[in-house]
Amino acid sequence: MRGTWIRVCGYRIRVDVRQGRGDEQDVPLVLCNGIGASLETFDSLVEGLDPERTVISFDVPGAGLSPAPRMPYSFALLAAAVTRMLTQLGHLRFDVLGFSWGGALAQQLAFQFPRRCRRVVLMCTGTGVMMVPAKPQVLWHMATPRRYRDPAYAAQVAPTIYGGAARTDPEGVRAVFGKVETTASRRGYVYQLLAGSLWASLPFLPGIRQPVLILAGDNDPIIPLVNAKAMQRLIPHAQLSVFPGGHIDPLLRSDDIGGRIEQFLTQKDTHDDE
């Protein structure tokens, strides 16, 4: 089993750190995962990033191998827990990447902790309850964590819910979901659904002052592209990068997506110190 365990804010969280060069320029990139997923789903994406970059991934309470808490949580509470986790790891400043559900957590971190969060990557994500939703058929499949427990089922429903490469690369889908470590906590999945159902970022997006890269697929059934365009208009220093493909293409195309992320994280920007 990969990773180590950190206790913070009453949670027991599994954390995995890929150590980079460790100097002052090595700002760690924190990965926030999609609903129900464990940190292993980011493996291919991490391979496409600079090997000298420190990358921190973790299992949200109730997902992967992190046990479900006794009570539901909000994104604000979870963001506070993540920053304390990073403090324990010795990192006072960080970049954050949020994928799908984890994009909400990334937005919350950026807004709630602007002095600690340097840059933000929002990947295949939206603005919560005020976003343009997916079609009912897609939402129905997303209502349970079965695709994380059953790789064959994941490959079956992937073309409908993920679009893009999932329609032509079923083996790639099996590879992503087949290596997931998970306790398949129904309670944890419900807590994640509940947190998302009570959260919206539209009111505070203009208050996110960090440089933001929005990565969005042009064939994403879960997060229609119009959501990314709306976020770009509302976040002051946001740039939109559209890739051909669907919701989990970034987890299958580490070279292309990793290159876009690295270019953004290393570019000079006058807004870094705002």
Catalytic residues: 100
CA distance linking residue 57 with residue 105, whole number of Å: 13
Name the pairing type of β-strands 238-243 and 94-99.
Answer: unpaired
Q: Which two tokens stand for residue 133?
A: 């939703």
Among 172, 184, 98, 100, CA closest to 147:
184
Cβ atoms of 264 and 52 within 8 Å: the answer is: no
140: Cβ contacts below 8 Å, ≥ 6 apart: none
Q: Which two tokens stand for residue 235?
A: 């976040």
Cβ atoms of 148 and 36 within 8 Å: the answer is: yes
